Every structure is written in C-alpha cells, then in structure tokens.
Amino acid sequence: MQRIGVFVCHCGTNIAATVDVKAVAEALGHEAGVVISQDYQYMCSESGQNLVKNAIKEHKLTGVVVCSCSPRMHENTFRKAAASAGLNPYLVEIANIREQCSWIHKDIASATEKAIILGRAAIAKVHLNTPLTSMESPVVKRALVIGGGIAGIQTALDIAEAGFEVDIVEKEPTIGGKMAQIDKTFPTLDCAACILTPKMVEASQNEKITIHSFSEVSDVKGFVGNFTVTIKKKARYVDETKCTGCGLCTEKCPMKKVPNEFNMGLDNRRAVYIPFAQAVPKVATIDPNYCMMLKNGKCGVCSKVCSAGAIDYKQTDRFVEQKYGAIVVATGFNPIKLDKYDEFAYSYCPDVVTSLELERLMNAAGPNGGTLLRPSDKTHPHTIVFVQCVGSRCDDGKGKQYCSKICCMYTAKHAMLIREKYPDTEVYVFYIDVRTPGKNFDEFYRRAVEQYNVHYIKGMVGKVSPKADGKIDVQASDLLAGEQLHINADMVVLAAAIEPDKTARPLATMLTTQMDTNDFFTEAHPKLRPVESATAGIFLSGACQGPKDIPETVAQASAAAAKAIGLLCKNSITCNPCVAHSDELMCNGCSACEKVCPYGAITYQDKEFRMPNRTTAVRRVASVNPAVCQGCGACTVACPSGAMDLNGFSNSQIMAEVDAICK
Amino acid sequence: MNKNLKDWIDITSGVNVRKCMRCGKCTATCPSYNEMEYHPHQFVYMVERGEIEPLINSESLYKCLTCFVCVERCPRNVEPAKVVEAVRLAAVRRQGKNHLSAEQIPPALDDDMPQQAIVTAFRKYTK
Amino acid sequence: MQVNENFKPVIVAFCCNWCSYAGADLSGTNRLNYPANVKIIRVPCSCRVNPMFILRAFQKGADGVIICGCHPGDCHYTSGNYFTRRRITLLYSMLDFLGIERKRTRLEWVSAAEGAKFASVMEQFVSDVQKLGPNRRLEDLRCRKQ
C-alpha cells in the first residue's frame, strides 16, 4: 500500500491569492493512499523542505506530491530534499499550481478546483512511480570550438590553458574572423591586427590546440560529454604539412582577377592565395572556381615554383571523426546584404560603401595601402556622409528588427579617424539615436563631436543619387533644425545591420540547439545562463548569440570556456534515469523502435528464453543503451507490441494522469 | 486634444503612429518638402499627440503628392501617406454634404479633373 | 448551432517538456489568462504522446485533447515532433473514419518563448470545443460520472 504525502505551497500570495490552498490540502488529503496533506507558506524554503523531510521519515512515505510552482523551477529542490531523507528522488512529483493555475486564473473557485485536479493527477502518477537510479557516463576530455574568430580563439586559448585538448574548426583558410579585417578598435583606437595576431599565433603554437582551417562540421552525434563529430576538411589542393607559406605560388599564379574577399572584393587576388600576411595557418589555398589547372588542366605554374612540393591538384575533401566532451559555438556574424535598400544606391555606385568596406579602404594592408581614396576614381574624398541604422531597427520586412549594437561606436570611430588623418574632410553622421552604453563609449562619441568636429545630424538619409560629375547627392532630413538637406558628398558609408552567419542554422539543426527567429542561438536563460545553450554540453561564444562588440565577445568567449572547462573537469556526468527500456518478454524484435530512435540508442540482441516443456528458444529482442538514450519516448509509441516503455513517463503513469483529469 | 478625432484617424488610416521611431526618413525623402508647413514626420507625431486641428487647417495637407515614397522607405512600416490621407478625409467629412457620384460630374470638367485625386484613390484602395 | 454557455468542456493538453510546457509556464509568468478547463500533462517530447492516450482521454470523458510540441526543426530530440505530426495526421483520419469531430483534437507548435501564443491557442481551442458541445460519441458510458 502506498503512503503518499501531499504538500501544498502558498508561495507567499503567488498561489494563495487565487487558490484556496487550505481547501486543496483538505481535498487531496482524502485521496486514496494519501496519509498526510499539509500546506505551508514557502515549501521551497529551508523550513518547508524540512517539513517534507520530516514527513517522509515520520510517516514512512513512499511517494511525495508537492503542489507548487513549475517543476522546471523546483523539481530538483524537492527531489534532493527527498533523497536526503532517504526517499528515492524519482518518487517525488510536482503539481504545477502556480504558473499553470494561480497565475492564469482570476476566479478563486475555478482556480481551486483546477488545483485539486492537478494535484489528483500528480497523486495518480506518483502511485505508479518506481525508484530510479542515475547512471554515470564518462566525459571525453576534449573540446570542439566551431568558428575561429576572436570568440573562438579566446575560448580555445582559455580551455587549453586549463589543460584540455581543443580543436578549432574554421571554414575560411585562416583563423581571425571579422576582427582580422578591422582596422582600428573603439574606444581605444588601437590597431585590431596588433592585438589579434599575437592571439592567433598563440593559438597555433599552443600544443593543446589543433586548428582545422578550411573545414566544416558535417555531422554531430552523441550527447553531453560524449559527442562524435565529423569534420569535413575541404580540399585546398595544398598539402598543409608541406607548405611553408613562402607565398611564391601566390606571386607567380597567372590568374590575377579573383575578387579578394578579405578586402571585401575591393581589389583582386590570385587563384592560389593566402588571405593576408599574418594568416594562421600560413598555408596557401587554391580556389577551384578560378584555378586554370583545376578547371581545364592547363597551367600548373604553382606546382612548378613550389620548392616544398606542397601543391596537390588531386586532393579531395577529407573527413575526420573525433570525440568531444563539450562543443562551443562561435560562428559569428556578417553584415547584411544591402540589395533591398535601393535608395542608398549601394548596388550601382562604387563610392557608396559599407562600414566593413571602409575598414579595408583605411587599412594599411587594404587595397589602397591605408590611404583613403574613393573606389571609383581613386581620388581623395572631401565630404563623407555616414548613414546609421541601415537595415537595423527595421520593421518593414527588409531589414532586421533588432539594434545591431556596434554601429554607433564604429561610425564614431571612422568619423574620428578620418577627421584626424584628413582634417580637410567634412564628415556628416546621420543618426536616429546614438547608443553608447559601455565603458568610455559616450566619452568617445562626445570626443568625435567636440574635438574632431564631426557633424552629427539627427535625422535619416532618404535618398542617395550619384550625379554625372562623380559627386553624390545625399538628400536627408535634419529633424532638429526642421530642414531637408542636400549634401554634395564624395563618399557615403552605410552602417549595415549585422546578422548571424549563414552556416549557423544548419549547425543548430545538427547540434539540436535552439535559435531565435533571427537565427541567433538562444541561450539557456537570458539572464542567468547566458553562455550555455539549452542543449547540455553546447556553449555559445560571441556574436552567434547576439550582436556584440569585441570586449563583450571576448568576455563571453572566456565565460563559455569556463563553462566548458567545468564540464571537462568532471570524470563522469550523471545521466537522466528517465530512459526507455523494453520488456523482453513482450518484444518481438520488429525493429520499429530502432528506426525512430534519433540517438541510435537501441540495438538488438539474440537472447535465449525458456519455453514450455523445458525447451529454450532464441529470440531477437531490443535493448536500450541507457547512457545514450535521452528519454524522448519516440520508441514507446512506435512499439507495436507495447514492450517499450519510458521510465518516469510510463504508459500507465500518463494514462493515470489522463484518467485523473477526466474523472 | 480631440480624442475622438484621433481615434477616427487611427482607424481610418489603419496606421499605428506609435510605431514611429522618429528617424525622419519620411521627411528626408519627401519631394514636396519645401512646399510644406508640416512635414511627414511632424504629421505622424502630431497625430500621435492628437493635434489634428492644425493639420486640418494647414495647406500642407494638400501639398502631399501621395507619391508613397515615405511609405516605401519608412523602416518601421508606419506609412505616413496613409495618415495624411486619413486627415484629408477628416477634412472632407467635415465639409458636410459634398459627395459627388461619378455620373454627376459634368463631362466638361474632365480635362480639369485632378488626375492626382484619381491616382490617389486607386492607390489607396489597391495597396 | 446552439452554444451551451453552461457547458464546461474538459480539455487535456499534452505539452512537451522543452518548448510547450515552458511556453505554458511563460504565459503564467506573464499573467496571461486562458480558461481553467485546460489541464496540462507534462511529457518529455510530443512524440511520447501515444494516440492511445488521446483515445483514452476521450473515452474517460474529455471533450478535447490538444498536443503541443516544439516547432518543426526545433525539437530538443531532433526529430520527435516530426513523428508526432505523422502520428496525429493518421489519428485525424482515423477519427474522421469513426465520425468523431476533428476539431476535438489539435496539434500545435508552441515554443518556450511563445507564452502569448500558448494562451491564445488554448483560448481558441476551448471556444472551438465549447461550440462542438460535449463529447458523446467516444465517451465510454461506463466511465461517465454519476
């Protein structure tokens, strides 16, 4: 006979205001098997938990029902309390009478009635609960970092620092990401390459870090502590182990007209290339879309000049399989495409550029060697107009609804740098709001206005029209002066919104992590668990989770590393015991369950069974690997013979709940 | 502030003026800016504040070409031209019995008919 | 059709632990109202819902059953909700064949962020079932309350 204790929480007035808790405790006390039914102000408090513990001991309870807040809040609290009083933690059930009752309903009578029914359902379930014990599963002491930008590099360095092996997977030929393309950083104006490249070198020299450049994650299997990842190493037609990065091939390659993506297509590179001088790994890559040898078998110059013999035209994509305990996602961002914003003339006027293009135009390693020149006629621009919020804060279906966060600051930086270097240039910034929350950020923006005399105008640019004389007419509003302006500009710089990288969405599917509608990865809790994804063992680093500047990215990268290290430190993790199991006597080995299992947790064994008249027979039966099973229950429904059942959510338990609700 | 009139404008235009984030792109892009006393962003803001009388009495109401550029470019989908149209309608309604059916229009007036009005009507009802 | 205002339908909602149950919690946290007829049963994944449970609910006197899961592609278990979708589609045709009003069963995708959607879906579902009236066709008379 079951001996069940019912504990009804007031949660201050959160529950008690709309649910008559005394009546609930009274009503549930009359249910079959219930030996004690109490109510208390705060069940989750120390004294509330003691109430439960004492009742378990005193009344020798075999089951506990707590009518309180959502099991997502305090199920663990009460399970721990039960365990400390000697009751198996899985004999505790929660009836959610706060989030799903008292907070929803205003009428006390109907809310109380519902609370009693929810309590009854929980009692009906707990009658059928069985004690469960958690399994331990080992943790592979190796981490995978997806993305080799500043976020990925920082995470990898921190994990390596703690003594664990880390692999970085980067889809480009070099690590470095967006930060490598940036000229200077706000608000200190130090050179991005000067602070990034030492970190890139550190990552490449750290013996705990393996860099898979020009690679992608093609498959992820497994679960926290035990992921098996297939990495596709794309064919770069150069043997990484032989290439010395001398760059001779890139000088001799006759195919010169390849848009250089590192410089945002503002100049050209060869078909065999090293993205930039400080690339890590410093290994050449052949672009098969342009290489004459790969396209029509005629050329082979690079192979002839390479003294190391590193060129290999026959290289194919290779797949590497590796086991990891933790995965950190650091896939970063990209500026949006501006083809939907025709009013800014971006698609047809070369002197209308995005901010990232301007970074390259101003960079010493950029197309103009650091001199700011107009892309169209290579002359010095005298009037430059910056347009903020291009595609950000848009509710028109063309852009993004969110604020891209970094544009205000980098525009102030650009404006300041231009005024500093070319004092004869007039700089106008059209803003809707200037958003500068951050250490030394507002001071930086004010400096641009007060010291560098950048013209900040509250208003938006309505139309950009290139004129026949090469100038650009910028039609805009000055809302404070109540004027419509026409500026005769030489260049227009658009602060394009940023969006998550396109590779993030398929990756999220592989990792079974969640994304928001903008394709940013969703954190497990927006305030309290900002660097973990809801899927155990997957951590988030950098702009893949939301727009971020460099200091925030680095902070989050280190935080994600700390979380990953916390996981890797453990020798084993406790598995959820709510897993499937099959009743071998009922199983007929049909394989229906195996086909629906997303984790491959079900295998078949030939087992000997005793038959009538002292005979035996060998039958094929399903068996579930409890370390791999995640407890989704897909197999339980697929099973035609009803042999498969799920611990903690068994057929009979759910049915008992249904019955209790419909009674 | 005339709450009824403001509500009427809100319903007639179908525009939620509170969506405006005051960027001024409508005004930046307006081709009849120089002709106007109240500019598109002011229209939206004044409707939001319920100051509709000055708009009804202003010539600006009829300077709007209903070219819909502001609707096209507004990043928040506020659609200022629809607000202007609603205020025009409020002004027209106030003039009392002035409805003219198509048959009543003398053919002689055809040449002088404001094409703009017809285009406006088309745009308004087909958008 | 005559709608009986006094009829209080019994609604059983199966919510997956990861998305819809959290969505239901969120609608509570945001103090959004939906009718008290809805009683939620927590399941690990919408694919844990055996069509048998739904029939059992009808047999025991439920007037409507709603299953809520993660949006397609967002399943915590990768593919569970796709199984649910197929199973419920088959159940629909079976219920049609049996002559049970299709509107008594519903499958909805509610994410953990969609507290408002959860409340509005429940509101809508309860009013739809309200219009259909009590479930008489599948209810087992032996199970009827005295």
Q: What is the pLDDT of residues A557-614, one digit of tens each?
A: 999 999 999 999 999 988 889 999 999 989 989 999 988 887 778 889 899 888 888 9
Render pLDDT for A509-541 as a digit per residue (tens, 0 to 9): 888 787 888 999 988 777 788 999 877 899 999
CB-closest option in C10, C22, C44 to A72: C22
The Cα A252–Cα A396 span in angstroms is 49
Distance (Å) from the alpha carbon of A596 to chain B's nearest alpha carbon: 45
E strand spans, A124-263: 136-138, 142-146, 165-169, 184-185, 190-191, 209-212, 215-223, 226-233, 258-259
pLDDT at residue number C2:
59
Q: How does the average pLDDT of chain A come out, rounded?
A: 93
The whole model's pTM is what? 0.75
- Give the pLDDT mean for A44-49: 94
CB-closest option in B22, B29, B76 to A462: B29
The Cα A56–Cα A4 span in angstroms is 9
Minimal Cα distance from B37: which residue of A? A482
Angle of CA points C54, C90, A602, to nearest 5°:
80
Q: With CB atoms and an 8 Å threshold, state whether C79 touches A514.
A: no
Find chains touching chain B: ≥3 CB pairs under 8 Å.
Answer: A
Query: Which tokens go with A311?
Result: 């060129």
Chain B contacts of A459, Cβ < 8 Å? 23-24, 27-28
Distance (Å) from the alpha carbon of A392 to chain B's nearest alpha carbon: 9
Q: With CB atoms and an 8 Å threshold, state whether C78 touches A598.
A: yes
pLDDT above 90: residue A646: yes
**CATH 3.65.10.10 correct for A142-234+317-332+501-568:** no
CB-closest option in A396, A461, A479 to B74: A396
Render pLDDT for A414-429 as a digit per residue (tens, 0 to 9): 999 999 999 999 999 9
Residue whose pair of structure tokens reads 């993790």 in the numeric block: A573
- Give the pLDDT mean for C117-139: 90
> Which 3-state string (H, E, C) describes A424-479?
CCEEEEEECCCCCCCCCHHHHHHHHHHCCCCEEEECCEEEEEECCCCCEEEEEEEC
CATH 3.40.50.960 boundaries in chain A: 4-128
Q: With CB atoms and an 8 Å threshold, state whether A633 touches C32.
A: no
Distance (Å) from the alpha carbon of A392 to chain C's nearest alpha carbon: 22
Angle of CA points A32, C145, C8, to nearest 5°:
110
pLDDT at residue number A535:
79
Q: Which residues contact B83 (CB under 8 A, 6 or more apart)?
A: B9, B13, B15, B17, B43, B44, B47
- Give the pLDDT mean for A299-318: 94
Chain C contacts of A128, Cβ < 8 Å? none
CB-closest option in B21, B25, B75 to A399: B75
Q: Are A659 and C56 in contact (CB under 8 A)?
A: yes
Q: Which of A192-196, A223-227, A277-281, A425-429 has the lowest mean pLDDT?
A: A223-227
pLDDT at residue number C137:
78
The Cα A283–Cα A285 span in angstroms is 7
CB-closest option in A396, A477, A484 to B75: A396
Indicate the Cα dihedral angle B2, B5, B8, B13, nearest 10°. -100
Chain A contacts of C43, Cβ < 8 Å? 633, 649, 654
Find chains touching chain A: ≥3 CB pairs under 8 Å.
Answer: B, C
DSSP code, position B74: -
Minimal Cα distance from C139: which residue of A? A662
The Cα A145–Cα A560 span in angstroms is 10
User: What fold, for A580-647?
Assistant: Alpha-Beta Plaits (3.30.70)
pLDDT at residue number C78:
74
* Best to test chain B binding among A388, A428, A458, A484 (most B CBs inside 10 Å): A484
CATH 3.30.70.3270 boundaries in chain A: 580-647
pLDDT above 80: residue A627: no
The Cα C89–Cα A100 span in angstroms is 28
Chain C contacts of A520, Cβ < 8 Å? none
pLDDT at residue number B32:
92
pLDDT at residue number A625:
83
% chain C with pLDDT above 70: 94
Q: Are B55 and B47 in contact (CB under 8 A)?
A: yes
Render pLDDT for A117-137 as a digit per residue (tens, 0 to 9): 999 999 999 999 999 998 888
Q: With CB atoms and an 8 Å threshold, state whether B27 touches A389.
A: no
For A334, phi then psi, to 5°, come to -145, 155
pLDDT above 60: residue B124: no
* Homologous superfamily, domain A334-499: FAD/NAD(P)-binding domain (3.50.50.60)
CB-closest option in A114, A630, A658 to C41: A658
Chain C contacts of A514, Cβ < 8 Å? 74, 111-112
Render pLDDT for A474-501 as a digit per residue (tens, 0 to 9): 999 999 999 999 999 999 999 999 999 9
Chain A contacts of B19, Cβ < 8 Å? 395
pLDDT at residue number B100:
61
pLDDT at residue number B125:
54
Minimal Cα distance from B35: which residue of A? A484
Angle of CA points A410, A412, A413, to nearest 5°:
60
Instruction: Indicate the pLDDT class of residue A452, thresholds 50, 70 and 90.
Output: very high
CATH 3.50.50.60 boundaries in chain A: 142-234+317-332+501-568, 334-499
Find chains touching chain C: ≥3 CB pairs under 8 Å.
Answer: A
More confident residue, C77 or A55: A55
Chain A contacts of B24, Cβ < 8 Å? 432, 458-460, 477, 479
pLDDT above 60: residue A444: yes
E strand spans, A260-317: 268-269, 272-273, 285-286
Instruction: Indicate the pLDDT class of residue B1, thresholds 50, 70 and 90.
Output: low
Chain A contacts of B75, Cβ < 8 Å? 389, 393-396, 399
Please identify, in words, the CATH class of the domain defined by A4-128: alpha beta
Instruction: Indicate the pLDDT class of residue B116, thresholds 50, 70 and 90.
Output: low
pLDDT above 80: residue A547: yes
Burial of A33 (0-12, 13-18, 19+ CB in 10 A): middle
Residue from A228, A143, A138 nearest A574 by CA: A138
Q: With CB atoms and an 8 Å threshold, state whether C28 touches A99.
A: yes
**What domains are there in chain C, each with its CATH number?**
11-135 (3.40.50)
Minimal Cα distance from C41: which residue of A? A657
Chain B contacts of A475, Cβ < 8 Å? 28-29
Cα A13 off chain centre by = 38
pLDDT at residue number B127:
45
Q: With CB atoms and an 8 Å threshold, state whether A462 touches B23.
A: no
